[in-house]
């Protein structure tokens, strides 16, 4: 299995003003991330607007990212869904496309029980022989996958990691204690990612890495290596940006930030709308703080 960890960007899907995918900008973003030291690319996760891409677009973004990366770093395909059969279909395609692993969000809106979550992820693991990363994000899905359920799933060979985005260090501690020998724990919350890695987490699937890839790579490397002083110094620089990128629901602020940086066009798909003007200067100031704009 390809090594996963470090700063893994939850990549935006760049779009033109009319909402169509901007394939040229996608290629430019991939090359930039590789040059800046990003450790892995997550294609078509929540930040990549998975909820509003059609099946064919979803498949094609994954295919293009795999082709563009060309083995230079791991590609994790976002293939979760709230229907188990749909998630299996997306995951099978990602394997055929050459993705190194898949990111599987907890089923959203239908709010399954813990047993339902276990059976959903068990079915995915049995159906597709590819490394799988579970994704717990209760603020988005309406369901919280509890540590005891994660521990059950950690016994399955091709379930290799969990992206935990609850934003609770207490939860991270418990997960590492229960599953740390069998499952890599990745942060899915940039604001607490540094501390998560200092206590044993293996990386961060990051929104902030979209706009500050070099700093995020350096911070994650220091934290994973236990270099607290260096990690804290870097993270202090990033905290303002972590906050600014969630002034409105993700990916609204991060797409606007990348547009302000000249890296993508203005496109975002309904029902998401462009960043409200009252937040523009706050995001600009955060970008200036990390040297992303002048």
pTM summary value: 0.97
pLDDT in tens, 254-269: 999 999 999 999 999 9
Q: How far apart are CA 132 and CA 65, in angstroms?
A: 18
Residue pair 74/3 in contact (Cβ under 8 Å)? The answer is: yes
Nearest-CA neighbor of 46 among 205, 162, 190, 159? 205
Is 259 an annotated catalytic residue? Answer: no
Is 233 an annotated catalytic residue? Answer: no
Bridge partners of 43, per DSSP, are 77
> Both tokens of residue 175?
């997960």
pLDDT in tens, 33-76: 999 999 999 999 999 999 999 999 999 999 999 999 999 999 99
Q: Does 180 or 89 have the greater pLDDT score? A: 89
The stretch 206-219 carries a mean pLDDT of: 98
pLDDT in tens, 147-201: 999 999 999 999 999 999 999 999 999 999 999 899 999 999 999 999 999 999 9
Mean pLDDT of the chain: 97
Instruction: Report domain 6-224's class.
Output: alpha beta
Please state the φ and ψ torsions of residue 105, each to the nearest 5 degrees: -75, 150
Give the count of beta carbons closer than 10 Å to the beta carbon of residue 109.
Answer: 9
Q: How far apart are CA 5 and CA 185, in angstroms?
A: 9
pLDDT grade for 2, boundaries at 50, 70 and 90: confident
Please state the φ and ψ torsions of residue 132, each to the nearest 5 degrees: -125, 135
pLDDT in tens, 94-143: 999 999 999 999 999 999 999 999 999 999 999 999 999 999 999 999 99
264 labelled ligand-binding:
no
108, 135, 202, 255: which one is catalytic?
135
Half-sphere exposure of 71 (CA within 13 A, CB side): 1
Q: Strands, E, within 6-116: which ranges?
A: 6-10, 40-43, 75-78, 101-105
Residue pair 66/99 in contact (Cβ under 8 Å)? The answer is: yes
> Both tokens of residue 258?
């990348």
149 labelled ligand-binding:
no
The domain locations on the chain are 6-224
108, 163, 166, 202: which one is catalytic?
163
């Amino acid at each position: 299995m390809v090594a996963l960890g470090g700063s893994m960007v939850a990549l935006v899907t760049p779009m033109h003003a009319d909402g169509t995918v901007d394939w040229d900008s996608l290629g430019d973003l991939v090359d930039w991330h590789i040059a800046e030291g990003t450790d892995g690319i997550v294609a078509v996760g929540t930040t990549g607007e998975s909820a509003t891409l059609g099946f064919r677009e979803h498949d094609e973004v994954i295919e293009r990212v795999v082709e563009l990366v060309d083995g230079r770093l791991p590609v994790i395909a976002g293939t979760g869904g709230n229907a188990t059969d749909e998630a299996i279909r997306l995951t099978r395609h990602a394997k055929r496309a050459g993705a190194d692993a898949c990111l599987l969000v907890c089923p959203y809106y239908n709010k399954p029980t813990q047993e339902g979550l276990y059976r959903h992820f068990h079915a995915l693991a049995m159906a597709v022989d590819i490394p799988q990363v579970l994704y717990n994000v209760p603020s988005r899905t309406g369901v919280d996958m509890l540590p005891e359920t994660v521990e059950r799933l950690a016994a399955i060979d091709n379930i290799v990691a969990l992206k935990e985005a609850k934003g609770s260090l207490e939860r991270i501690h418990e997960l590492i204690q229960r599953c740390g020998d069998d499952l890599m724990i990745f942060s899915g919350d940039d604001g607490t990612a540094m501390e998560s890695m200092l206590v044993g987490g293996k990386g961060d699937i990051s929104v902030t890495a979209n706009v500050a890839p070099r700093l995020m790579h350096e911070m994650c490397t220091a934290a994973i290596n236990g270099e607290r002083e260096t990690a804290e110094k870097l993270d202090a620089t990033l905290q303002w940006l972590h906050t600014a990128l969630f002034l409105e629901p993700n990916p609204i602020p991060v797409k606007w930030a990348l547009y302000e940086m000249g890296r993508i066009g203005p496109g975002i798909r309904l029902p998401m709308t462009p960043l409200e003007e009252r937040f523009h200067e706050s995001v600009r100031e955060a970008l200036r703080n990390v040297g992303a704009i002048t």
